[in-house]
Amino acid sequence: MPSDSKLILLCAGGTGGHLFPAEALAVVLERRGMTIDLATDTRAAHFKFPARAVHIIPSATVRGRNPVALARTLSSLALGTVKAWSAIGNIRPAVVVGFGGYPTVPPLLAASLRGVPTVLHEQNSVMGRANRFLAPRVTRIATGFRTLRNLDARWQGKIAFTGNPIRPAVIAAAVAPYATPMVGGKLHLLVFGGSQGARVMAEIVPAAIEQMTAAMRSRLAVVQQARDEDIDAVRSLYARLGVEAECAPFFSDLPARMAAAHLVIARSGASTVAELTAMGRPSLLVPLPHALDQDQFHNAGMLEEAGGAIRIEQRAFTPQRVADEIASLAAEPASLGQMAAAAKSVGIIDAAERLADVVLQVARV
């Protein structure tokens, strides 16, 4: 590492919801002359992250109150904290930045115990349990939403609203303005759900399109993410219906496909909502049910209140409801344009730059 370069340790669990904003911040910090290390769990071993080194830190998520499972979880977190303590002592970062979830707990806890400055970024509109545990121990708290639920008034002085950092590919795709579909014209539909949402999308969306009129189906061009075990059934149903469709388990160019869509049907994770608002794309959002903190429900609610999305709880996410919503929006394309503009109005394209400012202030760079 160059002698004039400060080392910054980013901490994120091995899912896109945490790694994508961390990646966006890493790109900006490197551009500003910083050196980046990443602390994560084993799930991120395949992820190409712009870091000098990756430190795998043991972790586990607290689920339920089973004494045996709880003991194992606490043991993993304790082991991770010891390993993080050692790693931080060796690399001596100027600041440690966490992106939420239990994999963030060991490195941020170890950093606070060592007296290293810390920044916690909460991507969702409701603060999760792991972040609530860390909040009194960190130096600053950056938020992805202007309003943060579950926020203890004692932490208010630590808060800095930055928005959710978005990847360079999303920033590039966001340049394209929304093209409102023509009356009776083609309607480009993008459907994705991630590892925890693709199954319900595969079950509901093709069945919804099957219920539409032949005239409506002829207008659709569908791009849908589907799991390997579902993809043949999804493709064959679209083929039988004569619907123009492209299906795959993963799209490496998802930001560009989001930009090309007239309507997106997706879960409402923080990164998805941030990307939809940065691009200004209308959506039907289906929050992940049964989440401990109902973060996706509140994320979708924020965008619905702004006028940029329609929130549909999974229990109401039926083929008939989806068919009705799509047909209604297609019948009045101007409403899609209005939703796109409303989504864009709450988007923050420079969130990574704002967060980098906070991080460097805490690091005293």
**Model confidence pLDDT, tens digit, residues 111-120:** 999 999 999 9
**Same structural domain, 337 and 356:** no
Helical residues (DSSP H) of 92-227, grouped into ranges = 105-114, 129-134, 168-173, 198-210, 214-219
Backbone angles phi, psi at 305, to 5 degrees: -60, -35
**Same structural domain, 115 and 249:** no
Does any domain span residue 96? yes
Average pLDDT over residues 96-120: 94
Does any domain span residue 226? yes
**Same structural domain, 235 and 155:** no
Does any domain span residue 84? yes
Does any domain span residue 1? no
Query: Could you give the angle at the alpha carbon of 259 between the alpha carbons of 258 and 262, nearest 5°?
Result: 80
Query: Could you give the angle at the alpha carbon of 95 between the alpha carbons of 89 and 99, nearest 5°?
Result: 110
- Burial code (b: 16+ CB inside 10 Å, e: under 16) for 250-260 equals ebeebbebbbb
Of the listed ranges 66-75, 121-130, 306-315, the one predicted with least confidence: 66-75
**Same structural domain, 275 and 213:** yes
- How far apart CA 139 and CA 120 sit, in angstroms, is 8
What is the longest distance spanned by two Cα atoms in the chain?
Answer: 67
Q: What is the mean pLDDT of the chain?
A: 92
Q: Which domain holds residue 51?
A: 7-166+349-363
**Same structural domain, 321 and 232:** yes
- What's the pLDDT score for residue 18? 86
**Same structural domain, 233 and 329:** yes
pLDDT in tens, 154-212: 888 999 999 999 999 999 999 999 999 999 999 999 999 865 557 999 999 999 999 99
Does any domain span residue 319? yes
Helical residues (DSSP H) of the chain, grouped into ranges = 16-31, 67-91, 105-114, 129-134, 168-173, 198-210, 214-219, 228-241, 254-260, 270-279, 295-306, 319-331, 333-345, 351-363
Task: Report the number of distinct structural domains present in the chain.
Answer: 2
Of the listed ranges 42-46, 86-90, 132-136, the one predicted with least confidence: 42-46
CATH code of 93's domain: 3.40.50.2000
**Same structural domain, 236 and 329:** yes
Does any domain span residue 2? no
- Which residues neighbour 287 within 8 Å (Cβ) at sequence distance 6 or greater? 267, 268, 294, 296, 297, 299, 300, 311, 313, 314
Which amino acid is residue 14, in one-letter code?
A: G
Nearest to 277 by CA among 304, 243, 254: 304
**Same structural domain, 354 and 337:** no
**Same structural domain, 306 and 211:** yes
Q: Are 284 and 265 in contact (CB under 8 A)?
A: yes
**Same structural domain, 85 and 189:** no
pLDDT in tens, 316-353: 999 999 999 999 999 999 999 999 999 999 999 999 99
pLDDT at 230 over 90: yes
- What's the pLDDT score for residue 4? 56
Q: Are 127 and 149 in contact (CB under 8 A)?
A: yes
pTM score: 0.90
**Same structural domain, 161 and 178:** no
3-state SS, 189-246, equals EEECCCCCCHHHHHHHHHHHHHCCCHHHHHHEEEEEECCHHHHHHHHHHHHHHCCEEE
Does any domain span residue 291? yes
**Same structural domain, 314 and 234:** yes
